[in-house]
Amino acid sequence: MSVSANFAVPPRLKQAADAAHALLRAALDVVLPPLCAACREPVDGSGLCPSCWSKLSFITRPYCERLGIPFTYDPGPGILSMEAIADPPAYNRARAAVRFDEISRALVHALKYGDRLDLAPMMGRWISHAGREILAEADALVPVPLHWRRQWARRFNQSAMLAAAIASESGLPIAAGALKRVKATAQQVGLSRSERAGNVQGAFKVPEEGKAAVLGRRLVLVDDVLTSGATVDVCARALNRAGAANVDVLVFARVADPARTSI
């Protein structure tokens, strides 16, 4: 049977096609049940199995009000970490949903390399909760951009996926064109703290067409993981230079070295 462009599918045929499609989907669900993003055990619908969920380490106060690094004891309200005092970042405050550990790394990797885009809404909800004070005062979200070549290879930017999830939680707009990655940098993995800073030096800028979205605005940088903070620091520098009123940082997971967080 040949089908012309304006051929209307008879309702019965359409119903049969829909039923076949539903059957196929059901069959695929049996073959491919949703898996836990961390341990690959089958789960009912959500991204993590109960066991992995219970091992996630959510970050709550007490933490350094500037860097968001969790304290191992409560030093009292408003106390900053040694890092924040000795080497203040270009951004105002950073908050993370969870500590970077085995489970959160698995979630980040699944989102980044495993095409588990279905995890983004859940991760975005947790970030929004951790950053609710920051989001309440913000004008727009700025995902940390990938270099176009890396984005092309990976097909999407995981930070933009998280920013989209935070946008739908908070109602804030995304200023996607506010920041541009102008230098393709090596992966930060395996580099020392000073190597990381050197690696991302000059890698970001506010393009001419992005300036209106930055000037006088309170912005929230969004990234998946905060390790040394070098990447968000140079991003914040670029936004500050372009006249941002305030720059805060929200990430999904942060490296929290308890040995270095006590004052």
**Mask: binding to Zn ion, 41-80, rule CB under 5 A, as x and -?**
--------x--x----------------------------
Which member of 34, 35, 39, 255 binds Zn ion (CB under 5 A)?
A: 39
The tokens for 88 are 């203040």
180 token code pair: 């541009």
Q: Which stretch binds Zn ion (CB under 5 A): 7-15, 36-44, 119-127, 178-186?
A: 36-44
Under rule CB under 5 A, how many of the chain's residues touch Zn ion?
5
Q: Is 103 in the site for Zn ion (CB under 5 A)?
A: no
Reduced to 3 states, what is the DSSP secondary structure of residue 84? helix
- Report if residue 234 touches Zn ion, rule: CB under 5 A: no
- Sequence-separated (6 or more) residues with CB below 8 Å from residue 87: none
Please report, for residues 31, 192, 212, 220, the alpha-carbon distance to residue 144 in angstroms, rounded to integers and kept in the order given.
37, 21, 18, 10
* Nearest to Zn ion of 118, 195 (CB atom): 118
Sign of the alpha-carbon torsion through 190, 196, 198, 203: positive
Considering only 33-41, 93-101, 138-146, 158-166, which stretch makes contact with Zn ion by CB under 5 A?
33-41
Decide: 161 and 150 in contact? Cβ < 8 Å.
no
Region 187-206 residues binding Zn ion, contact defined as CB under 5 A: none
Cβ distance to Zn ion smaller for residue 52 or 226: 52
List beta partners, residue 249: 94, 221
Contacting positions for Zn ion (CB under 5 A) = 36, 38-39, 49, 52
